[in-house]
Structure 1
């Protein structure tokens, strides 16, 4: 991001070209700052005139702005001269007000979108005006962009700006107070509405607005958020989070979706990657974790950092098996929908107390290994590759199983599929909810007949 007040002399303002659209001349302004951060702004002469009328209140000479011309204003020679004059005008204003740029000039050049101090002044003013309303209307829940959090994190290491000292509306403390009052925080790449993973990742690696700033390159910390209980990351780079230490103390629900994270370590303890730290930080209060729609292919030992987790959702990743779950003694809900799972053997070693297990949308054809998951109450195996009715025997003797999902499997296409499946539960068939439907009396009757016939054949 730009940091104008840190290096004002390295900021240049030019108008490299003019575009004519439907007879109107638009002057394309280019702002270049320290470290080659740059962006463009398109303005017509009327915008310059409106700006100048406001700047007159700051003792700017009325004659400084080039005069308006009605006749011949589309002549290319005139437009080129006007471009040079307006460029000189902007450069003169910037030089005159180098130490204290008026808000109107800041917004005219979009500094409030790309510069650390001016982004925060804009945000502080909004919070000063509307902060209490935001907290009440949104139940203390708020979304910050990566750029906003990067600006906040940078400002924590800087002294007060002149603007803050002169006008309390722009005080950084308004932002810090707002952050400390939030119960729920969501971090997103930009304000553009996204729903799909590809959309979030596109925003992450695309230039922000008209600038050359990439959200994927911006680090940030979360130390101002001292009371957040629900933390949600959408489409960010988890390893760009410099510190989770303060937020760990109170966080209860942790959601990370639509990232390129490949393992749990990348998400739960990214500081160890930055600092080569061997100190593992425990998320003491987290009971719900949702790391869906990432690129996770391995459940590593970092899961031990959430020892009290009860609900774990890992849908839409690249998992083929599970590991490092055996020490999560409170885990009772596990969702692994839409992964790459084929083999369930030995899963009982990892899943001691899980009551709900969702495995829809995988590549499962055999249920071998599920017979020892005796705590399971709800099991979703829909949209897999189960063909053989005998596979149901692996789960038919689970003593407290009540809910079973099998629709979307080849098996579900068989004639009398429901009674045949229910028959495998023998006397318990009337207790089973199959594919979200309770058994009808006729299905139960048919299932009991099929069960009796099967027993007689076995006997």
Structure 2
């Protein structure tokens, strides 16, 4: 029985430099492990890490991982340090599960899309982030965009380190500036589609079926607002003049026609809810 070899008191293990390729169920023999080094092990996945409930420091650097490691819910709530440097990661989806994370090293991966950085917004305890040597860092304003995607509570951390450099006071002021925007993904796509369908139905006199609890009230979005207006075209102005009893232009601003309202609504929704590039 494997249980007779259970290392129930082992808290630190270093398996770096082994050509493992894959991890198997042997990790279940480490129920109390807190610090685990699996760097330089040619790993292509980290699925078996799900059986480590107490892990607080995990080193998976210099492997061939393409996504975030899968950890148990309990481990996701205790993990403090995660080193994923020098892998093949392109997307940060899944990082939001590690809410207790304080140190995150993503140096030397393949992250190229700035929009995936919004997943950092759930890491309220983060103190040290390294994202150097990723394609996304080649932009002139990449540092500012990363800072805007951080959790707003990090603003009170005077010694937050980004790419080996402590944030300046001016940089700290924009921490979390993008936190009010929706994250990209299936849920945000559904929300966006629901909002657009709802406003279309309102304009057509139909009842909306949108009942998502976190959505902005559709009726509020549909209320006339200067942000949703288009400048009147000459044709619209002539139409209003000809319909006026005394052939004079009306002084009250009218909401745009249905098709114009829809187009402006669409553009404002994208501008308001999608993170800037």
Output the TM-score relative to the length of structure 1: 0.36
Does residue 458 (structure 1) correspond to residue 272 (structure 2)? The answer is yes
Counterparts of 2:180 and 2:54 in 1: how far apart (Å)? 42
Does residue 299 (structure 1) correspond to residue 23 (structure 2)? The answer is yes
Does residue 372 (structure 1) correspond to residue 100 (structure 2)? The answer is no
Aligned to 1:393: 118
Aligned to 1:340: 64
Aligned to 1:422: 147
**Pair 1:280–1:321, CA change in 2 (3 A):** farther
Does residue 444 (structure 1) correspond to residue 169 (structure 2)? The answer is no
**Pair 1:278–1:440, CA change in 2 (3 A):** closer
Choose between structure 1 and 2: higher strand proportion. Answer: 1
Contact 1:326 1:350 (8 Å CA) reproduced: no
Deviations 1:251-282 (A, max 9, x none): xxxxxxxxxxxxxxxxxxxxxxxxxx756412
Counterparts of 1:280 and 1:358 in 2: how far apart (Å)? 32
Counterparts of 1:428 and 1:413 in 2: how far apart (Å)? 27
Contact 1:289 1:311 (8 Å CA) reproduced: yes
Aligned to 1:361: 86
Counterparts of 1:453 and 1:309 in 2: how far apart (Å)? 37
**Pair 1:326–1:413, CA change in 2 (3 A):** same
Deviations 1:99-143 (A, max 9, x none): xxxxxxxxxxxxxxxxxxxxxxxxxxxxxxxxxxxxxxxxxxxxx
Task: Identify the match of residue 314 of structure 1 among 35, 38, 54.
Answer: 38
1:324 aligned counterpart, secondary structure = helix
Contact 2:127 2:161 (8 Å CA) reproduced: yes
Counterparts of 2:55 and 2:47 in 1: how far apart (Å)? 13
Aligned ranges 1:240-319 → 2 under 5 Å: 280-319=4-43
Counterparts of 1:435 and 1:282 in 2: how far apart (Å)? 40
**Pair 1:346–1:427, CA change in 2 (3 A):** same
**Pair 1:426–1:330, CA change in 2 (3 A):** closer
Higher relative contact order (CA 8 A, sep 6+): 2
Counterparts of 2:166 and 2:60 in 1: how far apart (Å)? 25
Output the TM-score relative to the length of structure 2: 0.58
Contact 1:332 1:355 (8 Å CA) reproduced: yes
Counterparts of 2:85 and 2:62 in 1: how far apart (Å)? 6
- CA apart distance, 1:338: 0.4
Task: Identify the match of residue 52 of structure 2 among 328, 333, 337.
Answer: 328
Does residue 412 (structure 1) correspond to residue 137 (structure 2)? The answer is yes
Counterparts of 2:117 and 2:102 in 1: how far apart (Å)? 15
Counterparts of 1:357 and 1:323 in 2: how far apart (Å)? 15
Aligned-residue CA RMSD (Å): 2.9
Contact 1:347 1:370 (8 Å CA) reproduced: no
Counterparts of 2:151 and 2:98 in 1: how far apart (Å)? 19
1:334 aligned counterpart, secondary structure = strand
**Pair 1:417–1:302, CA change in 2 (3 A):** same
**Pair 1:448–1:336, CA change in 2 (3 A):** closer
Q: Give the gaps of 5 or more residues in structure 1.
A: 1-276
- CA apart distance, 1:399: 2.4
Choose between structure 1 and 2: higher helix proportion. Answer: 1
Aligned to 1:102: none
Q: Give the gaps of 5 or more residues in structure 2.
A: 183-267
**Pair 1:439–1:290, CA change in 2 (3 A):** same
- CA apart distance, 1:449: 10
